[in-house]
A and B are shown apart, each in its own frame.
Chain A
Amino acid sequence: MGLATPTSTLLTEWRKEKLFVFFLLAPALLLSFAVIAYPFFYNVVISLSNMNIYHIRDWRIIGFKQYVLVLSEPRFWEILAKTIIWTVVNVVFHVGIGVFLAVLLDQKFVRGKPAWRVLFILPWALPQYITALTWRGMFNYEYGAINLLITKYLHLPPVEWLTSPTEAFIAAILTNIWLGFPFMMVIALGGLQSIPRELYEAADVDGASGWQKFRHITVPMLRPVMIPAITLGIVWTFNNINVVWLVSNGGEPNDQTHILVSFVYKAAFSMYRFGWAAALSMIIFVILLTFAEIFMRKTRATAGVNE
Chain B
Amino acid sequence: MGGKKQPGYLVRRLVGMVVTYAFLILFAAISVYPVSRIVTISLRPGDRLLSTSLRIIPEDATLENYRVLLTETPFLRWMFNSTFVALVVTLTGVAFASTAGYALSRYKFRGRDGLMRGLLVTQMFPATMLLLPLYIMLIYLGLINSFLGLIIIYTATALPFCIWQMKGYYDTIPIDLEEAAKIDGCTSWQAFYKIVFPLALPALVITALFSFMTAWNEYVVANVVLQDQELFTLPLGLRMFQSSMTTQWGLYAAGSLIVSVPVVVLFIALSRYLISGLTLGSVKG
A residues contacting B by CB (< 8 A) are 16-18, 20-21, 23-25, 27-29, 31-32, 34-36, 38-40, 42-43, 46, 51, 56, 97, 100-101, 104-105, 107, 109-110, 116, 118-131, 133-138, 140, 142-143, 145, 148-149, 152, 178, 182, 186-187, 190, 201, 204-205, 207, 210, 224-225, 228-229, 231-232, 235, 239-242, 245-246, 249, 260-262, 264-265, 268-269, 274, 277-278, 281-282, 284-285, 288-289, 292, 305-307
Q: Could you mark each residue 207-235 of chain B with 1 if its beta carbon is under 8 Å from any beta carbon of chain A, else 0? A: 00000010011111001100000000001
Q: State whether A281 and B249 are in contact (beta carbons under 8 Å apart), knowing that A186-B271, A204-B2, A305-B283 are contacts in the complex.
A: no
Task: Verify A152–B28 contact, CB threshold 8 A.
Answer: no
Q: List 25 A-B contacts (CB under 8 A).
A: A17-B188, A25-B103, A28-B163, A31-B155, A32-B156, A39-B134, A104-B24, A120-B28, A122-B32, A123-B34, A126-B264, A130-B260, A133-B242, A134-B34, A137-B37, A204-B1, A225-B279, A228-B283, A229-B282, A239-B127, A264-B128, A264-B132, A274-B136, A289-B124, A307-B285
> Across the two chains, which residue of chain B brings its CB closest to A232?
B282
Q: Is B126 an interface residue (CB 8 A)?
A: yes
Binds A, one of B48-56, B58-66, B67-75: B48-56
Question: Which residues of chain B from 1 to 32 have any CB-CB distance to chain A below 8 Å in the complex?
Answer: 1-2, 16-17, 20-21, 23-24, 27-28, 30-32
Contact residue among B24, B103, B245, B276 (Cβ-Cβ distance under 8 Å from A24): B103
Hey, which chain B residues are within 8 Å of A207, CB to CB?
2
Task: Verify B34–A131 contact, CB threshold 8 A.
Answer: yes
Q: Is B144 an interface residue (CB 8 A)?
A: no
B residues contacting A by CB (< 8 A) are 1-2, 16-17, 20-21, 23-24, 27-28, 30-35, 37-38, 41, 50-52, 54, 92, 95-97, 99-100, 102-104, 107, 109, 121-137, 139, 152-153, 155-156, 159-160, 163, 188-189, 192, 213, 216-220, 223-224, 235, 238-239, 242-243, 245, 249, 252, 256, 259-260, 263-264, 267-268, 271, 275-276, 278-279, 282-285
> Complex Cα distance A101/B127, Å?
30
Question: Distance in Å from the Cβ of A233 to the closest Cβ of chain B?
Answer: 11
Q: State whether A278 and B133 are in contact (beta carbons under 8 Å apart), knowing that A25-B99, A27-B100 are contacts in the complex.
A: yes
